[in-house]
Structure 1
Amino acid sequence: MAFTPVLTSEWTKIRTVASTTWTLALVFLITVGFAALFAATFDAAGQEGAFDPTALSFSSMQFGQLAMIVFGVMVVSTEYSTGMIRTSLAAVPHRTHFLLGKMTVATALALAVGLLTSFASFFLTQALLGDSGVGIGGENVLRAVVGAGVYMALIALFCMGAATMLRSSVASISLLIPFFLIVSNLLAGFEATRSVGQYLPSNAGSRIMLVVPDAFGTPEAPYGPWGGLGIMLLWVAAAVIGGLLVLKKRDA
């Protein structure tokens, strides 16, 4: 089967399911809303470490990340919970085409929303910071803003791979949200476990959003922004490959 009809089919599925549309809308609303709140109430004098106005724009990414995790899981697991996976695989028996088509469409949507969110958060936050803000033309600023959008898309893609392996919305969300929001922060927050925590996908990938490496007391990492994004890409590749292997070996 040609790949283009698979993309068209997956696009139709995603845009006609209200829950996925609303979840993407929440990514934007939550991230931008909390970014504006943080910028409006920010007090530079009370902060530890160097001040990075660009990074402040993305201080609410963890909240939007919650919705992006749910989006990535739902794109895959909804078909299993409704039993539609059997119909989908009957229509597209080539399972590699089926999964890659689904991931391609969903990741493109996640990237579009991620970039819209990162640029909106940046410009709104810098406007609220006034003289303390920076312009998009500042050194490494555009890299950080674009990188924030790419980071969100990679979160969604990782969750799609994990959900394909787990095949359950409840199991996937129950594991992924603590993994990204609790385990990663705990391991990175203590010196004894930092050497492990800094190589987890969210901690490594979020480095792309920093212009000042030690902003807000962020611990030093043995890699730079691009190295961190590369580590996250390895995690995402492992999740996608794992999902593909499970899909090809297990019955629907």
Structure 2
Amino acid sequence: MAHVSRVLKSEWTKVRSVRSTLWTLVASVVVTVGLGAMICTLTQSEFSRMSTRSQLTFDPTYTAFAGMSLGQLAMIAFGVLVVSAEYGTGMIRSSLTAVPQRGTFLLCKVLVAGLLVLVVGMVTSFATFFLGQALLGDHGTNIGEPGVLRAVLGGGLYMTLIMLFSLGFTFVMRSPLLAFAILMPWFFLVANILGSVSATKKFAQYLPDQAGGTVMSVVPDSLDRPYGPWGGLLIMVAWTAVALLAGYVVLKKRDA
């Protein structure tokens, strides 16, 4: 237990000593809250001109989280940097020499990064929701309505899972350039395109971000998916578990 506590302290020191990782968290908060606020402001001003169907299926909670599509990119960057910073500097060799139990090494990194992002994600999620509802005015909702608290808590969980997925994926790639080159365009562009094209929509709705995002939805008709909010989050959990397991296998079998 004492050994694990020392590894945890070491991982915490690594995270807070690399400024770029901390700035990605700040960027995630600013982008998610700021873009969500802008979308809510525009929606409030245009609401009366929306179609009847759009008004009936309007989801004020999900609208407040519109900035998550860009804010998640900063969380992805955080997950990549937490791993790649050691590979890029060669520090990974020293880390694995000090902690030869690679499962313990990975677990401690996951715990430190995951708990930090969970706290930041929850703060971001609640701030995004309350500011968004204030800007939506009469078209907003409140935290006591059915499904709303679940959606807000889900926003923080979503940010944590997308970061952990990226962390595991980076252990597989072992290269920040490869990880960024694949993850950023995939989650920013490709997944959204696949989700909007009828030929690929059925496949795309099971991708991690597409499935996980449903947990932030409250109005059932606002998203047409064959699973509910918790089902979508569980799909994302499964993707994250696979990425972390693959990262562990690569970390265990390959030399640093």
Shorter-chain TM-score range:
over 0.9
Q: How does 1:48-127 map to 2 (within 5 A)?
A: 49=54, 50-127=57-134
Are 1:34 and 2:35 counterparts? yes
Q: How does 1:113-152 map to 2 (within 5 A)?
A: 113-152=120-159
Are 1:239 and 2:235 counterparts? no
Tell me the amino acid that sits aligned with residue 235 of structure 1.
W
Deviations 1:90-115 (CA, angstroms, capped at 9, x unpaired): 11111110111011100111111111
> What count of residue pairs does the alignment treat as equivalent?
249
Match of 1:227 among 211, 228, 231: 231
| 2:23 corresponding residue in structure 1 | 22
Tell me the amino acid that sits aligned with residue 14 of structure 2.
K
Distance 1:192 1:171 in 2: 28
Structure 2 residue ranges without an equivalent (≥5): none
| 1:212 corresponding residue in structure 2 | 219
Structure 1 residue ranges without an equivalent (≥5): none
Distance 1:94 1:107 in 2: 20
SS across alignment from 2:221: coil
Deviations 1:25-58 (CA, angstroms, capped at 9, x unpaired): 1110111111111111112233663101001110
Distance 1:115 1:68 in 2: 13
Distance 2:251 2:142 in 1: 46
SS across alignment from 2:198: coil
Distance 2:190 2:22 in 1: 28
Distance 2:221 2:160 in 1: 25
SS across alignment from 1:59: helix
Distance 1:41 1:221 in 2: 26
Choose 100-109 or 183-192, whichever is displaced more.
Answer: 183-192
Match of 1:196 among 193, 203, 216: 203
The percent of aligned pairs where both chains have the same amino acid is: 53
Deviation at 1:195? 1.1
Distance 2:220 2:196 in 1: 16
SS across alignment from 2:58: coil
Deviation at 1:177? 1.1
Cα RMSD over matched residues? 1.1
TM-score by length of 1: 0.96
Distance 1:135 1:196 in 2: 34
Distance 1:61 1:107 in 2: 18
Distance 2:163 2:86 in 1: 17
Match of 2:163 among 156, 171, 196: 156
Distance 1:183 1:30 in 2: 20
